[in-house]
Amino acid sequence: MNFWQTQRVVVTGGAGFLGSFVVEQLRTEGCPEIVVPRAADCDLRDGGAIRRLLQRAKPDMVIHLAARVGGIGANQAHPAEFFYDNLMMSAQALHESWAAGVKKFVGIGTVCAYPKFAAVPFREDDLWSGYPEETNAPYGLAKKMLLVQSQAYRQQYGFNAIYLLPVNLYGPRDNFDPSSSHVIPALIRRCLEAKDRGERRLVVWGTGRATREFLYVEDAVRAIVMAAERYDDPAPMNIGSGHEISIRDLVALIVDLVGYDGEIVWDASKPDGQPRRGLDTSRAERTIGFKAVVPFEEGLRKTIAWYESARRPPAFAPTTRA
């Protein structure tokens, strides 16, 4: 039997964008029991609710993916909720997992935890060299506390908790809600809607000079599953693609792929966010053998195709008479 055929796993956030792919991969690996708590039944900010969940599920492993996330606008509008919800979910999930005797806890952090002006590519050792970018600092700091907690519980209790730092993710099933989506799904939706309406101008936030690194969701899932099986170390580990692109070039690529031919107008009164983002992924390659394999343009094409299919109304199926 392989490793996963012996595991009972709780995946918080398992019904979400990233989580749904993780659950599918665990099933493919032969995991016999996967429990996905739903928000309506289990408030992960409540330690008692998590305690009852773990008593019922009796997992060998918890993969903690649940988070309150959003783009720059959502972070600016709800900084207190982004801080409180993420801090409490993570702290309760790890503590109750330790108390329940869970064998391994896989915590997912965020690239937003890195200092605003960290040297690029971001190295895990630079995580504490400055304050995060202000527009998402409450979120980034709340998620970074999970690293502190995991290291403290390992030091005092010998608890096998690991912490992964994925870069910005994208792919099919992403959140395309304009009030809370991240940059790629937001741009795809806006470009397609502008094209549909025949709009000749598309206004985009910022100057376009900021850079980002993106990781296709299926690559991220491979990294998480590999780390869950193979990684056992207190040090955080970056998960990324190694491909940095400016927002200006990203917009140009998406515009080309969706076939929008209007003018792009940059609203420099809106924030760019962190000036640059790019990860040093050598630790992941060295320790678990992970390297991203999906080319960025190919991933974008798949994401656009999925969204175009998802937003298209179902085809009319006429009834037949006997």
- pLDDT value at residue 319: 47
Say whether 84 is catalytic: no
Residue with tokens 């992964």: 164
Q: Are residues 24 and 9 in contact, defined by beta-carbon separation less than 8 angstroms?
A: no
Round the average pLDDT of the chain to a whole number and report it: 95
Question: How far apart, in whole angstroms, are the C-alpha atoms of residue 10 and residue 8?
Answer: 7
Report yes or no on 319 lying in a domain. Answer: no
Q: Are residues 223 and 178 in contact, defined by beta-carbon separation less than 8 angstroms?
A: no
- pLDDT value at residue 321: 44
Res 320 pLDDT > 50: no
Residue with tokens 């600092």: 137
Report yes or no on 263 lying in a domain. Answer: no
Q: What is the pLDDT of residues 295-318, one digit of tens each?
A: 999 999 999 999 999 987 655 544
Residues 38-65 have a mean pLDDT of 96
- pLDDT value at residue 39: 85
Check which CATH number belongs to the domain holding 157 and give it.
3.40.50.720
Report yes or no on 270 lying in a domain. Answer: no
Q: Which amino acid is at 183?
A: V
Model confidence at 322, pLDDT cuts 50, 70, 90, reads very low
Distance of CA 142 to the CA centre of its chain: 15
Q: Is the peptide bond before 166 cis (omega within 30 degrees of 0)?
A: no
| DSSP label of 212 | E
Q: Are residues 166 and 60 in contact, defined by beta-carbon separation less than 8 angstroms?
A: no
pTM of the model: 0.94
Q: What is the pLDDT of residues 216-272, one digit of tens each?
A: 999 999 999 999 999 999 999 999 999 999 999 999 999 999 999 999 999 999 999
Q: What is the pLDDT of residues 17-37, one digit of tens each?
A: 999 999 999 999 999 999 999
**Choosing from 84, 114, 131, 139, which is the catalytic residue?**
139
Residues 122-150 have a mean pLDDT of 97
Classify 195 in phi/psi space as left (phi over 0), alpha (psi -120 to 50) or beta.
Answer: alpha
Report yes or no on 268 lying in a domain. Answer: no
Report yes or no on 205 lying in a domain. Answer: no
Report yes or no on 318 lying in a domain. Answer: no
User: Considering its fold, how many domains does the chain have in total?
Assistant: 1
Report yes or no on 69 lying in a domain. Answer: yes
Report yes or no on 9 lying in a domain. Answer: yes
Q: Which amino acid is at 15?
A: A
Residue 56 in tokens: 């019922």
Residues 90-101 have a mean pLDDT of 98
Which residues does 205 contact at the CB level (< 8 Å), separation at least 6? 72, 267, 270, 271, 272
| Strand residue runs (E) in 2-148 | 8-12, 33-35, 61-64, 104-108
- pLDDT value at residue 38: 92
Q: Which domain range does residue 40 map to?
A: 3-171+213-243+275-294
- b/e 146-173 (16+ beta carbons within 10 angstroms → b): bbebbbebbeeeebbbbbbbbbbbbbbb
Distance of CA 61 to the CA centre of its chain: 19
